[in-house]
Amino acid sequence: MTRIICIDAGRAEIIAKCSAHDIPISMIETLQSGGTRVVLHNAPDAALLGMAYGDKVMTGPVTRMAVRFRHPDMSEQSPRKAGV
């Protein structure tokens, strides 16, 4: 089992449904191919959300958006920027 689920629904709708079912979300992202990828705290919560969404659960391949998280001050401390 996995704690990741992709659903053919918008972020706000999924957040509301998770809140109504008392399911905590670890991460949520909009998919480039459409729909939303949700990472939950555990697999049983993912199974519960999957049952709540039924045929809106996406089972095929999806395309995620490229995201790079970076602290704004890190570029000043990078060894390559400093010539090290």
Q: Report the predicted TM-score, pTM, of the whole model to 2 decimal places.
A: 0.74
**Could you report the per-residue pLDDT of 56-75, keeping only the tens digit for each?**
999 988 888 776 666 665 55
CA distances from 25 to 11, 19, 41 (A): 11, 9, 6
CA distances from 34 to 19, 73, 75, 78, 79 (A): 22, 33, 33, 36, 38
Q: Supply the pLDDT for residue 71.
A: 60
Given a cut of 80, whether residue 19 has pLDDT beyond it is: yes
The pLDDT-based confidence of 84 (bands split at 50, 70, 90) is very low
Q: Distance between CA atoms of 1 and 73, rounded to whole angstroms? A: 38
Share of the chain above pLDDT 70, in %: 79
Given a cut of 80, whether residue 79 has pLDDT beyond it is: no
- Structure tokens given for 5: 């689920």
